[in-house]
Amino acid sequence: MAKITLQDLRHSYMPNPAGPQDYALKQIDLDWTDGGAYALLGPSGCGKSTLLNIISGLLVPSQGKVLFDGKDVTHLPPDQRNIAQVFQFPVIYDTMTVYDNLAFPLRNRGVAAQRVDARVREIAVMLELDDVLKRRAAGLTPDAKQKISMGRGLVRDDVNVVMFDEPLTVIDPALKWKLRSKLKELHQKVAVTMIYVTHDQTEALTFADQVVVMQDGEVVQIGTPVELFERPAHTFVGHFIGSPGMNVLPCEMRDGAAFFQGAPVSLAGPTKATTGRTELGIRPEYVTLADAGIPATVHKAADLGRHMVVEARAGDHTINAVVEDTAPAQGDTVHLAFAQNQTRVYTDGWLTTEDAS
Amino acid sequence: MKTVNQRAWFFVLPVLLLVAFNALVPLMTVVNYSVQETFGDNLFFWHGVGWFEDVLRSERFHAALGRQLLFTFLILIIEVPLGVAIALAMPRKGFWVPVCLVLMALPLLIPWNVVGAMWNIFTLPDIGLAGYTLNEVLGINYNMTQSPLAAWITIIVMDVWHWTSLVVLLAYAGLISIPDAYYQAAKIDGASNWSVFRYIQLPKMKRVLTIAILLRFMDSFNIYTEVFVLTGGGPGNSTTLLSIDLVKTALGQFDLGPAAAMSLIYFLVTLLVSWVFYTVMTKDEP
């Protein structure tokens, strides 16, 4: 068990990276507290897996350090870091039984047979693999195989961190939900640091206490699911998290006040320096149809069951609003009101409005 | 009820004809000869299973079969591990991959009789590169036309040189199909290099190795050209393998009956071993 620190980390897959565009990871400084449940969230190709492989030791970063409890492990191989990792596609040892598969990481480390047996049975019960322990692993379903993969990650109780690299990709939706809550439950039981990599916001938000959002090799925000939702630090976070994502609208700043298409918009708090491209960020959940406000034409309305998403056009811009009751008809002219405490300005993508306390 | 349509059989017909003319008809001719006695003039007399009894009791056949089994056994226990070892040592990516592959494929492209002739010249004690080096430079008395041991070593080395590549290429194909995640998982699980080989690489190579062993078994068990060109079965009968013995019986002595019976036994042994081997190797597969 250890606190993991990433210091000044950069990584490029090219031998001689010329500029920032050649780096898969641009600049990462991060602390992972011991025992935390983290999710690493970002679109495909944002550097999540690279970061994970650097922590596990499968990759040595081009620059920077990885510290476990202050000890530099940057150049240590995975087996000396005492970590576990579960991969996207199930990795099982075909010729072994399920039992032997689960026991493999322990036996390789010379754990006593009795202890191995106890751990394997415990994990098998948790993952509901106890009735197939004697079966050959090769003949099982992909679901079961992935459970074995996860089991091998969880079977060692002395690990510094267990990492999951999009482990539920191959699992069918019904079981996904079950396994995810199982993992959450496991985390509470064993209190080992877990890092869960995913591009699926639902997975990240349900599993993690802290979500690390990445884009283009950079960390854009770290926060609890609620923080990410209510106060995105970057328009990317606002857009990536939430369904539909945050409305991002170009605005003009004059004397600390924001104007959208000439009309003043009141903000959640004072806004810092305003050089650069300025945009308004407002989540569809906080946009309401009102008697007065920004005029827009309803383009379409989608019924999502629990609520409706109204897509309206104001000039060239599309604004989404979540509506609880009946939606206006297509082509109707409506007025949109933004909740003041949820409307913020982003400068060059980054949040520049401070919430008034 | 689904209507059963038999017209599909017409599509099988061309293959059936082809197989009939290049395999079934010649095989039946052999079966025909194997149960008859002839004194020339196209006169045949029924001989029952007499030839089979003769062949099975013949010491000459036993000796040839023994040599054949020994030869196949030796080349298999050398070529399979050696081929796997070379495949493991070959690079997985980069500039050297095509270079290695082409180098490995080269021996396979050489016609069999050329291989025999090459090695014949190569091992001549007075002018051959290997023969001269061994005798004159290293002072080892090596002459495969005189010493059965030297002859055996030469045919084994020749076969290893010619055919290990086949095992290498098949094993390599099996190896590169293993996703990286397997190696990464093994590293994290703390597996030793031996465990990686035993539990990941070997199981993933099992199918291709089964095919490699099967091909090498059949080819080496039926080997004729290379050994015949190199040693002619000698010195004495020391390298007279089954096929060479068969040709001597059939064409040298023109004993059609015994040669036909021998062919059938030979064929059945090859078939039986291949079948048993394949069945055992694939019995666990779903």
Tens of pLDDT, residues A291-332: 778 888 888 888 877 788 888 888 888 888 888 877 777 888
Tokens coding B113:
């009789």
**Where does the pLDDT of residue B70 fall: very low under 50, low under 70, confident under 90, or very high at 90 and above?**
very high
Contact: A85, B284; criterion CB under 8 Å: no
Beta pairing partners, A221: A213
Give the residue, A303 or B81, on which the prediction is more confident: B81
**Two tokens, residue B221:** 């068990």
Q: Which of A94, A104, A109 is opposite residue B203, by nearest beta carbon?
A: A94
Residue ending a domain, among A198, A230, A262, is: A230
DSSP-derived secondary structure letter, A20 = G
According to the model, what pLDDT value does residue B166 have? 93
Q: What is the pLDDT of residue A229?
A: 87
Q: Is the pLDDT of residue A112 over 90?
A: no
Q: State yes or no: pLDDT of B89 exceeds 80.
A: yes
Neighbours of B81 (CB within 10 A): 12
A158 and A70 part of one domain: yes
A176 and A283 housed in the same domain? no
Comparing A182-196, A236-250, A259-273, B263-277, the range with the smallest average pLDDT is: A259-273
In a domain, B225, yes or no: yes
The percentage of residues in chain A with a pLDDT greater than 70, rounded to a whole number, is 99
Q: How confident is the model at residue B73 (pLDDT cuts 50, 70, 90)?
A: very high
Average pLDDT over residues A51-76: 86
Distance CA B80, CA A231 (A): 64
Given this model, what pLDDT does residue B234 score? 75
Give the span between the Cα atoms of A23 and A14, in whole angstroms. 8
Q: For CA atoms B271, B272, B273, B275, give the dihedral sign.
A: positive
Kindly state the tokens that stand for B170: 């098949």
A236: amino acid identity, one letter: F
The residues, ordered by sequence, that sit 6+ positions from B221 with a Cβ below 8 Å of its Cβ are B68, B72, B242, B269, B270, B273
In chain A, the number of structural domains is 2
Q: Work out how many domains chain B is built from and give that number.
A: 1
Rounded-to-10 torsion of CA B175, B181, B183, B184:
160
Residue type at A48?
Answer: K
Same domain, A299 and A260: yes
Top-confidence residue, B53 or B83? B83
Q: How many residues does chain B have?
A: 286
| Position B276 confidence tier, pLDDT thresholds 50, 70, 90 | very high
Q: Does residue B224 sit within a domain?
A: yes
The secondary structure of A184-223 as a DSSP string is: HHHHHHH--EEEEEES-HHHHHHH-SEEEEEETTEEEEEE
Chain B interface with A: residues with Cβ < 8 Å: 179, 181-182, 184-185, 187-192, 195, 199-200, 203-204, 284, 286
The amino acid that residue A145 corresponds to is K
pLDDT at B136 over 90: no
**Which pLDDT value is given to residue A274?**
64
**Low-confidence winner among A59-68, A320-329, B118-127 (lowest mean pLDDT):** A320-329
**Domain boundary residue, one of A188, A203, A230:** A230
Considering the domain architecture, whether residues A8 and A116 belong to the same structural domain is answered as: yes
- Measured CA to CA, the distance from residue B132 to residue B111 in angstroms comes to 25
Q: What is the pLDDT of residue B1?
A: 59
Q: Write out the residue range of the structural domain in which residue B131 sits.
A: 6-281
Reading across the β-sheet that carries A193-198, which strands appear in turn? A83-86, A161-165, A193-198, A37-41, A210-215, A218-223
Q: Which of A233, A52, A45 is nearest to B184 (CA)?
A: A52
Residue B157 within a domain: yes
Chain A partners within 8 Å of B181 (Cβ): 87-89, 91
> What's the average model confidence in pLDDT over A43-60?
85
What's chain A's average pLDDT?
A: 84
- Give mean pLDDT, residues B162-184: 91
Residue A131 counted as domain residue:
yes
**Distance between CA atoms of residues B247 and B223, nearest Å:** 12
Please give the average per-residue pLDDT across A98-126, as a whole number: 88
- Residues pairing with A247 in the sheet: A282
The pLDDT, as a whole number, for residue A18 is: 76
Domain boundary among A202, A230, A258: A230
pLDDT, greater one: B23 or A19: B23
* pLDDT attached to residue B86: 93
Q: Give the nearest partner residue to A93 out of B188, B200, B286, using CB atoms.
A: B200
Buried/exposed code over B154-182 (b: 16+ C-beta within 10 A; e: otherwise): bbbbbbbbbbbbbbbbbbbebbeebeebb
Task: Identify the bridge partners of residue B106 per DSSP, sorted by sequence position.
Answer: none
* B223 has pLDDT over 80: yes
Residues of B in contact with A105 (CB under 8 A): 188-190
Is residue A271 pLDDT above 90, yes or no? no
CATH number where A198 lies? 3.40.50.300
Question: What is the mean predicted confidence (pLDDT) over A206-219?
Answer: 86
User: Who has greater pLDDT, A8 or B75?
Assistant: B75
A71 and A111, same structural domain?
yes
Structural domain contains residue B1? no
For position A220, what pLDDT does the model report?
Answer: 87
pLDDT at residue B79 in the model: 93
Rounded to an integer, what distance in angstroms lies between the CA atom of residue B227 and that of residue B156?
Answer: 10
Say whether both A30 and A146 belong to one domain. yes
Residue A357 lies in a domain: no
Q: For position B173, what pLDDT does the model report? A: 92
Using the 8-state DSSP alphabet, how is residue A280 labeled? E
Record: contact A88-B199, CB cut-off 8 A? no
Alpha helices in chain B (DSSP H): 9-19, 25-34, 50-57, 59-89, 96-105, 112-122, 129-132, 148-176, 180-188, 193-196, 202-221, 225-231, 242-247, 256-281
pLDDT of residue A110: 85
Place of tokens 């009939």: B20
Q: If 0-12 CB within 10 Å is exposed, 13-18 middle and 19+ buried, where does residue A306 land?
A: exposed
Which has the higher per-residue pLDDT, B256 or A98?
Answer: A98
Q: What is the pLDDT of residue A83?
A: 86
Percent of chain A with pLDDT over 90: 0
Residue B1 identity: M
B233-261 residues labelled b (16+ CB within 10 A) or e (exposed) = bbbebbbbbbbbbbebbbeeeebbbbbbb
Chain A / chain B CB contacts < 8 angstroms: 54
Q: Report the residue count for chain A.
A: 357
Same domain for A184 and A213? yes
Flag whether A239 is in a domain.
no
Does some domain include residue B31?
yes
A177: its two tokens: 């939900």
Look at A94-98, B71-75, B241-245 and tell me which has the smallest mean pLDDT: B241-245
Neighbours of B78 (CB within 10 A): 16
Per-residue pLDDT tens digits for A16-29: 777 777 788 888 88
Q: What is the mean pLDDT of residues A221-232?
A: 87
Interface residue A167 vs chain B (CB under 8 A): no
Q: What pLDDT is recorded for position B2?
A: 67
Q: What mean pLDDT comes out for the span A90-106?
A: 89
For residue B124, give every residue at least 6 positions away whose Cβ sits within 8 Å of its Cβ, in sequence order, or none: B131, B132
Residue bearing the bigger pLDDT, B241 or B84: B84
> What CATH number should be reported for the domain holding residue B88?
1.10.3720.10
Nearest to B189 among A88, A89, A105 (CB): A105
pLDDT band, very low/low/confident/very high, at B102 (cuts 50, 70, 90): very high
Domain that holds residue A345: 244-351
Closest residue of A to B191, CA-based? Answer: A108
